[in-house]
Copies of this chain bind each other. A is one copy, B any other.
Amino acid sequence: MIKANDPKLKSWVEIPSDSDFSIQNIPFGIFKTDSLGPRAATAIGNKVLDLSVLQREGYFDGLNLPEEVFSNHVLNDFIGLGKETNRAVRNRISDLLEAGNEELRSDAKVCDLAFFEQSEVEMCMPVHVPNYTDFYSSEQHAYNVGCMFRDPANALMPNWKHLPVGYHGRASSIVVSGTPFHRPKGQTKADDAEMPSFNPCRLLDFELEMAFITGKENGLGNPVSTREAEEYIFGFVIFNDWSARDMQKWEYVPLGPFLAKNFASHISPWIVTMDALEPFRVPGPKQEPKVLPYLEYEGNYHFDLNLQVAIQPEGQDETVVTNSNFKYMYWNCLQQLAHHTVNGCNMQVGDMYASGTISGPTPEEYGSMLELAWRGTKPIALKGGGERKFIQDHDTVIMRGHAERNGVRVGFGEVRAKVLPAK
Given contacts A253-B157, A346-B172, contact A196 B258 (CB under 8 A): no
Residues of B within 8 A of A344 (CB): 173, 181-182, 184-185, 263-264, 423
Interface mask (A239-259 → B, CB under 8 Å = 1, otherwise 0): 000001001001111111111
CA–CA, A147 and B191, complex, Å: 24
B165 touches A187 (CB 8 A): no
Given contacts A259-B342, A294-B198, A344-B264, contact A171 B131 (CB under 8 A): yes
Q: How many copies does the complex hold?
A: 2
A187 is contacted by which of B167, B292, B346 (Cβ under 8 Å)? B292
Quick one: which of A168, A198, A262, A423 has the most chain B CB within 10 A? A168
Within 8 A of B (CB), among A166-187: 166-173, 175, 179, 181-182, 184-187
B136 touches A168 (CB 8 A): no
A385 part of interface (Cβ distance < 8 Å): no
Given contacts A131-B171, A159-B250, contact A185 B343 (CB under 8 A): yes
Residues of B within 8 A of A181 (CB): 220-221, 344
Residues of B within 8 A of A131 (CB): 170-172
Residues of B within 8 A of A342 (CB): 185-186, 198, 259
Residue of B nearest to A423 (CB): B221
CB distance from A261 to the nearest CB of B (A): 8
A255 touches B167 (CB 8 A): yes
CB distance from A202 to the nearest CB of B (A): 14
A256 is contacted by which of B167, B289, B293 (Cβ under 8 Å)? B167
CB distance from A224 to the nearest CB of B (A): 13
Residues of B within 8 A of A352 (CB): none
Within 8 A of B (CB), among A247-289: 247, 250-259, 262-264, 289
Interface mask (A137-173 → B, CB under 8 Å = 1, otherwise 0): 0000000000000000000011100110111111111
CA–CA, A165 and B253, complex, Å: 9
A253 touches B159 (CB 8 A): yes
CA–CA, A348 and B161, complex, Å: 36
A345 touches B170 (CB 8 A): yes
A130 part of interface (Cβ distance < 8 Å): yes
- On chain A, which size bracket covers the interface? 35 or more
Residue of B nearest to A253 (CB): B157
A195 part of interface (Cβ distance < 8 Å): yes
A292 touches B196 (CB 8 A): yes
Residues of B within 8 A of A175 (CB): 220
CB distance from A218 to the nearest CB of B (A): 10
B168 touches A187 (CB 8 A): no
Residues of B within 8 A of A337 (CB): none
Within 8 A of B (CB), among A336-357: 339-340, 342-348, 351
**Known A167-B256, A185-B344, A252-B255; 19 more pairs at CB < 8 Å:** A130-B171, A159-B187, A159-B251, A162-B195, A163-B187, A165-B251, A168-B168, A173-B220, A173-B344, A175-B220, A181-B221, A182-B221, A184-B343, A186-B342, A196-B292, A198-B294, A220-B264, A244-B343, A252-B254
Listed A/B pairs (9) with beta-carbon separation below 8 Å: A130-B130, A130-B172, A162-B189, A162-B196, A167-B167, A195-B289, A198-B294, A252-B255, A259-B340
Chain A residues within CB distance 8 Å of chain B? 130-131, 136, 157-159, 162-163, 165-173, 175, 179, 181-182, 184-187, 189, 195-198, 220-221, 223, 244, 247, 250-259, 262-264, 289, 292-294, 339-340, 342-348, 351, 423
